[in-house]
Amino acid sequence: MKKLKFKNGDQLDAIGLGTWKSEKGEVTQAVKTALNNGYKHIDCAAVYDNEAEVGEAFEEVFGEGEIKREDIWITSKLWNNAHKKEDVIPALKKTLKDLKLDYLDLYLIHWPVAFKPEVGFPEKAEDYLSLEEAPLIETWNEMLKAKEQGLVKHIGVSNFSIPKLKELMKDTDHAPEMNQVELHPYLQQNELLEFCSKNGINVTAYSPLGSGDRPDQMKAENEPSLLEIPTITKIAKKHGATPGQILIKWSEQRGTAVIPKSTNEGRIKENLASAGYQLDEEDMKAIADLDKHFRFVTGKFFETEGNSYDNIYDD
């Protein structure tokens, strides 16, 4: 499997396990299955409301002693209601407590959007903090402090467009080490990938399979299914792989990390096994032609009339 490299020499296995929407009653087993079958990369977030259950898996697996904490890469994310500088490190400490860890490998600012501390999910314009009230650079400087304190090894962002990255980078000497964004054949993000590559920022692809288990209110009408795109099913057939494996392999082969979510034992194993395939030039060209700038996670749920976030992705 490909590895992503960091400036200090650390390396990240490209294929990891996503945990958004993984039910509390299922996620402990899913993470144990993943770790016991060779995954070395787990993606978490405070807002997934299952970090305590993910932590039970870490406690059990690391406690058994065969798999060591230092060989596994664990990412989590700062939720949007903890952007104020006094809230960042306490939020991180809560995540560490839930995950039953001493440190994270990577901590990300989940969205370039800030809510008031008491708001879990906003409903009206007053629930938000403007970028003037919670400047991203102040949040970022706290992330840097967390790194200095050894609470996290690497820091980065998520859902940041090129303008948002530039905005942050003009005020700091410490560029994000990772940008986690939606990425799949219908949203290939070539410009963003090029910008990140030039600036030494690694990229992680989220929703690589089209996020079919999102809540209905987050779905558009007649949403396409990535797993049923004829080009993908044809390439899958040619390699004796599943469509999911082709989607995952495509991301890995392009040099990004990729974090498919599953709580199903067979699919957890199947997704990691994607690394064993190789797409040829013809496959890569056929998939490159599929791009249509289609987002599953539109960010529209943050666009409440009157708040400061009416164009999250700067599209």
Question: Got the DSSP string for the chain?
Answer: --EEE-TTS-EEESB-BB-TT--HHHHHHHHHHHHHTT--EEE--GGGS-HHHHHHHHHHHHHHSSS-GGGSEEEEEE-GGG-SHHHHHHHHHHHHHHHT-S-EEEEEE--S-EE-TT-SS--SGGGEEPTTTS-HHHHHHHHHHHHHTTSEEEEEEES--HHHHHHHHTT-SS--SEEEEE-BTTB--HHHHHHHHHTT-EEEEESTT--TTS-GGGPPTT---GGG-HHHHHHHHHHT--HHHHHHHHHHHTT-EE--B---HHHHHHHHGGGG----HHHHHHHHTT-----SS-SGGG--TTSS-S-TT--
Stretch that binds ligand NDP, among 137-145, 165-173, 210-218, 286-294 (CB under 6 A): 210-218
Q: Is 159 in the site for ligand NDP (CB under 6 A)?
A: yes
Binding residue for ligand NDP, selected from 208, 235, 249, 250, defined by CB under 6 A: 208
Select 179 or 307, whichever has its Cβ closest to ligand NDP.
Answer: 179
The site map against ligand NDP for 3-22 (x = CB under 6 A) is ---------------xxxx-
Select 81 or 262, whichever has its Cβ closest to ligand NDP.
Answer: 262
Q: Is 253 in the site for ligand NDP (CB under 6 A)?
A: no
Residues tagged active-site: 48
Shortest distance in whole angstroms from residue 65 CB to ligand NDP: 27
Residue 154 annotated as lining a ligand binding site: no
Binding to ligand NDP (CB under 6 A) within 31-90 occurs at 43
Q: Is 271 in the site for ligand NDP (CB under 6 A)?
A: yes
Binding residue for ligand NDP, selected from 76, 158, 179, 188, defined by CB under 6 A: 158
Binding residue for ligand NDP, selected from 13, 82, 244, 313, defined by CB under 6 A: 244
Q: Is 179 in the site for ligand NDP (CB under 6 A)?
A: no
Select 66 or 134, whichever has its Cβ closest to ligand NDP.
Answer: 134
Residues that bind ligand NDP (CB under 6 A): 18-21, 43, 110, 158-159, 180, 206-213, 227, 242, 244, 259-264, 267, 270-271, 297
